[in-house]
Amino acid sequence: MGRVLVISASMGAGHEGAARELARRVGARGAEAVVVDFLDAFPAALARLWRSFYLFQLRAMPESYERTYQLFYRHPRLWGPFVRFERSLSGARTLAWVETLRPDVVVSTYSFATLVVGRLREEGLITVPAVNFLTDFAVHPRAVHPAVDLNLAIHPVAAENARRQVDGRVLAVGPAVDPAFGPSAEARAATRAWLGVPAERPLVLIVAGSWGIGDIPGTVAPLVADGRFSVVTVCGRDERLRRRLEERGLGRVLGWTDRMPAILAAADVVVENAGGLTSLEAFATGVPVVSYRPIPGHGRDNIASMRRAGVTTVPGSDEELVAAVDRLARPGPERSAQLAAAAALFSADPVDPILDLAAARAAVVTRSP
């Protein structure tokens, strides 16, 4: 059935989570998948600097990240030079992966990798089909390339956003979420017992992504102060954030954990700030999402599109946050509508069009003399 090269990046859990799940599904369907990290295509010192600066910018200078993010919207002529620069740094290693692995399809789950793959396809150096798997609801101009054969979006709103940026083929196929995420009465009961949450008490799960970005204390505080909820915050790999919350007595605080499927199954509402991977996992689990204090750049962009899609509630103040959580934690029309909109994302398997391309390419190679 062919071989698929998946290019991800260790720049947050969303890109890596999608890549792993796509590869798992490809393998489960009898094809072969290999996942590589796009940062490995760069000189090691430069890759470390790039990742460190990105994290520093998000934490210490978030509005500067917003200005950088908006730059390509305001000045699209910068797109060409930027792509050429990225290609000059990472093109040789990317081509080496393709030449060594000889895939039938190349799939990118990371925007900058998409740009480089698209450029190499445009130059005729990558001759197999290229697929851009868009992990976000928002689609930035630097997340697409006209030479990519197929763009896969996680929702029709995301597909519409992609079509504004590129003339290529775009399909709305839904997200790639690990099947470990789903409703489970057993996991719900066991996890609530572990956390010490009574069965009848609403459990609000606050997430900060794998890097703990954003004003998480400012989100946790009003929910804890209200007193009606059990509040659990997952801080990712940010130990400083975990200590700050613990020192202030702001609910139950967890660091990096591999128990997220069970924790989500135990939750009644998820509060997040970027529209990232945990939002998609909450959708798969059947837990409503509230997006509050969105982080600059892709966070604000994502959440605006999620709101249009009807899969999140976006309060504008602490009082609205508490009220939204209270409404969504209980059965009612608002909760039902959001959960129905979220469940609709999972009506298709995103690997179907990838494997179709791989099979078609493999068949052509087999027939060649």
pLDDT tens per residue across span 301-342: 999 999 999 999 999 999 999 999 999 999 999 999 999 999
Q: Residue 310: CB partners within 8 Å, gap ≥ 6? A: 337, 338, 341
How confident is residue 366, by pLDDT bands cut at 50, 70 and 90?
low
pLDDT reading at 33 higher than 80: yes
What is residue 369's predicted lDDT score, i.e. its pLDDT? 54
> Is the pLDDT confidence value at 197 over 80?
yes
Report field, pTM of the whole predicted structure over 0.85: yes
Quick check: 368 pLDDT over 60?
no
For residue 228, pLDDT beyond 60: yes
Mean pLDDT to the nearest integer, 152-163: 97
Record the tokens describing residue 263, joined without a space.
């924790």
Would you place residue 219 in the very low, low, confident or very high pLDDT band (cuts 50, 70, 90)?
very high
pLDDT at 78: 85
pLDDT digits (tens, 9 = 90+) for 174-190: 999 999 999 999 999 99
pLDDT at 77 over 60: yes
- Give 258 or 283, the one with higher predicted confidence: 283
The reported pLDDT for the residue numbered 214 is 85
pLDDT at residue 365 in the model: 63
Put residue 347 in one of left, alpha, beta given phi > 0 → left and psi -120 to 50 → alpha: alpha
How far is residue 347 CA from its own chain's centroid?
18
Say which residues have a Cβ less than 8 Å from residue 25's Cβ, sequence separation at least 6. Answer: 176, 349, 350, 351
Amino acid letter, residue 168: G
Q: What is the pLDDT of residue 260?
A: 96
Q: What is the pLDDT confidence band of residue 216, given thresholds at 50, 70 and 90?
A: very high
- pLDDT for res 76: 82
- Name the pLDDT band for 133 (thresholds 50, 70, 90): very high
CA distance 140 to 222: 33
Chain mean pLDDT for the chain: 93
Confidence of residue 19 (pLDDT cuts 50, 70, 90): very high
Query: Residue 1: what pLDDT?
Result: 64
Q: What integer pLDDT is reported at residue 69 of this predicted model?
A: 85
CB 225 within 8 A of CB 198: no
pLDDT at 367 over 60: no
**If pLDDT is split at 50, 70 and 90, which confidence band does 66 have?**
confident
* From 27-31, 78-82, 166-170, 265-269, the region with the lowest mean pLDDT: 78-82
pLDDT confidence band for 59 (50 / 70 / 90): confident
Higher pLDDT, 7 or 46: 7
Spell out where the chain has E strands.
3-8, 32-37, 105-108, 130-133, 150-153, 169-172, 203-207, 230-234, 252-254, 269-272, 289-291
Q: What is the mean pLDDT of residues 234-239?
A: 87
Cα–Cα distance measured from residue 91 to residue 155, given in angstroms and rounded to the nearest whole number: 30
Q: Any residues with CB less than 8 A from the CB of 360 and at least 6 apart, and which?
A: none
pLDDT value, residue 64: 86
